[in-house]
C-alpha cells in the first residue's frame, strides 16, 4: 500500500495540478516505478484528446459510462411526443424493481465490445 503524485499533462493555460494516487491493492505485483509508468502511459491513450490528460483514460471512460448510465435509469418525459404523459423508456415509476433496473442497464450484444460512450 503506497501513494504517489503524478503530473502527466502539460498546462495549456495557468498551472497544472498533479493527481494523487493511492494504491490499495495490487494483484499484478507491480513495483512502484512500473505502476507509475503504466499510469503515466494510460494518460496518453484517451481518444477524445490529442494531448495527455490528467488522469488515466480508463478512469475517464468509467466517468463517461456512469454519466451516461443515468439516462438509462431516469424517466424521460420529454422524449415521448405527448405532453404530460410518462415515457416508458425506463419502465415508468411503477416499475423500479431489481428486474427492471437490470433490464435498464443491460448492454445490447452488438455494443458489447464497442466503446459507445467514447
Instruction: Give tens-digit pLDDT for 47-91.
Output: 888 888 888 999 998 888 888 877 766 654 445 444 444 444 444
Computed on alpha carbons and rounded to an integer, the radius of gyration of the chain in Å comes to 20
Q: Measured between alpha carbons, how far is residue 87 from residues 19, 77, 84, 90, 94 in Å? A: 41, 5, 9, 8, 12
Q: Which of 71, 30, 36 is nearest to 56 (CA)?
A: 36
Taking residues 20-48, report their average pLDDT. 92
In contact, 65 and 83? CB cutoff 8 Å: no
Rounded to 10 degrees, the C-alpha dihedral 38/44/48/53 comes to 90
In contact, 17 and 5? CB cutoff 8 Å: no
Look at the pTM and tell me if it is higher than 0.85.
no
Amino acid at each position: 500500500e503506497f501513494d504517489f503524485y503524478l503530473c502527466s499533462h502539460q498546462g495549456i493555460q495557468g498551472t497544472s495540478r498533479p493527481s494523487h494516487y493511492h494504491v490499495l491493492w495490487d494483484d499484478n505485483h507491480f513495483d512502484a516505478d512500473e505502476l507509475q509508468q503504466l499510469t503515466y502511459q494510460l494518460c496518453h491513450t484517451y481518444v477524445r484528446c490529442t494531448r495527455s490528460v490528467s488522469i488515466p483514460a480508463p478512469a475517464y471512460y468509467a466517468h463517461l459510462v456512469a454519466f451516461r448510465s443515468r439516462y438509462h435509469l431516469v424517466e424521460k418525459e420529454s422524449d415521448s411526443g405527448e405532453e404530460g404523459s410518462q415515457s416508458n423508456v425506463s419502465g415508468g415509476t411503477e416499475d423500479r424493481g431489481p428486474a427492471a433496473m437490470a433490464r435498464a442497464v443491460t448492454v445490447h450484444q452488438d455494443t458489447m465490445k464497442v466503446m459507445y460512450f467514447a
